[in-house]
Amino acid sequence: MSISSPSITDLINLTGRTAIVTGGAMGIGRGIVERLAEAGASVVVADADLEAAETTAKELVEHGRSAMAMYADVGDADDVHRLVADTIGWRGRVDILVNDAGIFPSVPVLDMTPDDFDRVIRTNLRGVYLCSREAALRMRHQETGGRIINVTSIDALHPSSVGLAHYDASKHGVWGFTKNLALELAPHGIWVNAIAPGAIATPGVASMQAAGGAGVDPKAVLDAFLAQVPMRRIGVPDDIARAALFLASDLSSYVTGAQIVVDGGRLLA
């Protein structure tokens, strides 16, 4: 290591930076919020469930972190504009955007209505476009540029189950969008990357499993899944949060247009 190289502590220090995490109230989003705040960032917990966002922000503040809850429907252009403007009003800048907000209702294509399809695309893909564009418009005028991190899925690379065709389409779209946006924004000092989680234990996944219907044995489903994961465990939100911290910090100073797969080896099976 060169004597002039920054220390590990400096590399992961986000003090003075401001982050927006969509879908930040629960699950993966909350895990990311907690890690970024721990590293010193002021974090906006943006969520369509404002009450849950306020609870998360309040708990962070009680632990000495800098956090603010804001309502955001990421598929609504006016909402997204207000979210970024209010973040600038709160801390004067936006350095990190994590696009985590997403939905994954399970329905086979032959039973899927156009509204079902549009609702998933609106949140999962249009939302990433709207938030990324609005944040990048501000980041490009900052001397330090910025970081955009899009949460995709292993479904952006390989389907995991029937019933998620609209979800898979949205996540493939986000991965393509990530790569092209990385090309466009690199000259402005804005790095754009993605994280592709495998199965992560979150409230949303638990709800989907509970809605599996009569005759569905959740334990049998989980056992069958774990048999295909070389690490033999389901992921937790902090597994994704650690990857997000890497991409948000100076540890990833020469990384853009990349997708980090965090799935316990599931895609190898």
Token pair of 148 as six digits: 């955009």
Q: What share of the chain is helix, strand, coil (3-state, %, to 5)?
A: 50, 15, 35
Q: Return d(Cα 233, Cα 248) in angstroms, integer.
A: 26
Marked catalytic residue, from 71, 129, 167, 254: 167
Classify residue 268 by its DSSP letter.
G
Residue burial 35-69, b: 16+ Cβ < 10 Å; e: rest: bbbbbebbbbbbbbeeebbbbbbeebeeeebbbbb
Q: Return d(Cα 215, Cα 185) in angstroms, integer.
A: 50
Residues 6+ away with beta carbon under 8 Å from 48: 71, 72, 73, 74, 101
Strand residue runs (E) in the chain: 18-22, 42-47, 66-71, 96-99, 146-151, 190-197, 259-262
Instruction: Please indicate whether residue 129 is annotated as part of the active site.
Output: no
Radius of gyration of the chain (CA): 18
At 215 the three-state DSSP class reads coil
Token pair of 265 as six digits: 């080896």
Active site residues: 167
